[in-house]
Amino acid sequence: MKIFNTPPQEIRELDQSDTLSAKRNEFLVPDDIIYLNGNSLGPLTKNSQQRAQEVVFEQWGKDLIASWNKHAWIDLPFIAGEKIAKIIGAAEHQLVCCDSVSINLLKVLACCLQMQPTRNILLSQKENFPTDLYVAQGLEALLGPTRCKLKTVAEPELANALDKDVAVLFLSQVNFRNGDRHDIEKISFLAREKGILVVWDLSHSVGVLPLKMDEWEVDFAIGCGYKYLNGGPGAPAFIYANKKNHAAIKQPIQGWMGHREPFTFDPDYKNAAGIAQFLTGTSPILSLAVLDSALDIFTDITIIDINRKANALAELFLDLVKNDEDLNCLTLESKADSTLRGSQLAFSHADAYGISRALNKADVVVDFRSPNICLLYTSDAADE
């Protein structure tokens, strides 16, 4: 396949003249692979490698228990949270990093039901990321359908399904297969008009798409730390809770880190004010510290610049695929209009699995989605 061979001079020049090209040096992607899988697992940054060494050897190893204060381990969920807040357009004190996306979705869905005592429907889209649906199915099993009922509809039916029984609409902004992108502002507005709370899963958006959680008046968002945020395998996830809801929230997945005074060891739970009540148990500090460092990649660039570059790369890639005699048999499943898709390109082919394997064997790391999505081209800071 020609396109993965040494790129022609013009492409090298495009890259070199780009304002983001120096970012590549902040990552440790091996030189001999072409990594097109940042939407599954972001690559290692130099920052993170150094931090891992520091948190294990210098902090845990030498300062032991004192590190909770001395190295601010206790504040890490908030420190990392504020860095993500900037990336998703949220003012301070609305973000915290903890647990997994699934657990965090459970927390916010439970909160939404509690805030909507006369409504029982959790509305989503059939094509939502399956684990998000599993969480809702589990909550339904736990609470019973009178109190909690999952309803899923196909994407075109969403607007019509927004009725007075719906407590919360929860959606992934970007479809994990084909990259289809929702208009968060528009859909959140439609839901709000009907008294419906919204929860957005930003797992495949955060770090690559311009987001304005506050301005769009989103109620809650959750997302993943290990995809475009490059936080490392299974990095803690995050929760955004809009300030407007803080007074009404009583998060029922309770643990000591969400208590207003965890170290008084009070036998009765008294939730911390604001976003802190979304914490439950003790955070996995090694994983969290590494995520925290990875986020520093974003401090001197804007998501708008990343998105612009990603779109330029995608257009170029689409052109190259179209003109490559080995690859032009692939069918683009993603929207051609870059404003309607996430930062990925999905192609279908009957032999998608075999093609993915062959590419991976040739050190072009792509992803495969059963049954026939074979190639996901993704671009994030590491590809700059």
CA 322, 361, 50 angle in degrees (round to 5)? 105
Taking CA atoms, 219 is separated from 189, 198, 304, 328, in Å, by 11, 5, 23, 43
Instruction: Decide: 219 and 113 in contact? Cβ < 8 Å.
Output: no
d(CA 162, CA 155): 12
Q: Which is nearer to its own copies, 49 or 328 (CB)?
A: 49
Q: Which is nearer to its own copies, 156 or 371 (CB)?
A: 371
Q: Cis omega (within 30 of 0) on the bond before 371?
A: yes
Instruction: Decide: 200 and 363 in contact? Cβ < 8 Å.
Output: no
Answer for which of 117, 267, 300, 325 binds its own copies (CB under 8 A) is 267
Shortest approach of its own copies to residue 40 CB, angstroms?
5
Q: Which residues 235-264 are close enough to bind its own copies by CB under 8 A?
A: 235-237, 250-256, 258-259, 263-264
Q: Which is nearer to its own copies, 245 or 254 (CB)?
A: 254
Centre a 10 Å sphere on the Cβ of residue 68 and count the other Cβ atoms it contains.
17
Answer for which of 40, 245, 311, 348 binds its own copies (CB under 8 A) is 40
By CB under 8 A, residue 204 contacts its own copies: no
Q: Which residues 154-193 are close enough to bind its own copies by CB under 8 A?
A: 176-177
Answer for which of 91, 141, 329, 362 binds its own copies (CB under 8 A) is 141
In this structure, is the dihedral angle defined by the CA atoms of residues 337, 231, 37 and 24, taken in order, positive or negative? positive
Encoded amino acid at 16, one letter: Q
By CB under 8 A, residue 135 contacts its own copies: yes
d(CA 198, CA 217): 9
Applying CB under 8 A, the site for its own copies has a residue count of 85
Shortest approach of its own copies to residue 296 CB, angstroms?
16
Shortest approach of its own copies to residue 111 CB, angstroms?
10
Instruction: Decide: 343 and 307 in contact? Cβ < 8 Å.
Output: yes
Where does this chain touch its own copies (CB under 8 A) — which range of 23-31, 239-247, 303-311, 346-354? Answer: 23-31
By CB under 8 A, residue 146 contacts its own copies: no
Strand partners, 364: 34
By CB under 8 A, residue 317 contacts its own copies: no
By CB under 8 A, residue 145 contacts its own copies: no
Instruction: Decide: 250 and 271 in contact? Cβ < 8 Å.
Output: yes
Answer for which of 23, 44, 81, 213 binds its own copies (CB under 8 A) is 44
Q: Where are the alpha helices (DSSP H) in 39-90?
A: 46-53, 67-70, 76-88
Answer for which of 70, 126, 194, 244 binds its own copies (CB under 8 A) is 126
- What mask of x and - would describe binding to its own copies in positions 351 to 380, judged by CB under 8 A? ---------x----x-x-xx----------
Where does this chain touch its own copies (CB under 8 A) — which range of 24-32, 83-91, 213-221, 345-353? Answer: 24-32
In this structure, is the dihedral angle defined by the CA atoms of residues 304, 306, 308 and 310, taken in order, positive or negative? negative
Answer for which of 8, 19, 70, 130 binds its own copies (CB under 8 A) is 130
Answer for which of 4, 86, 93, 131 binds its own copies (CB under 8 A) is 131
Strand partners, 376: 346
Taking CA atoms, 143 is separated from 101, 146, 338, in Å, by 20, 8, 41
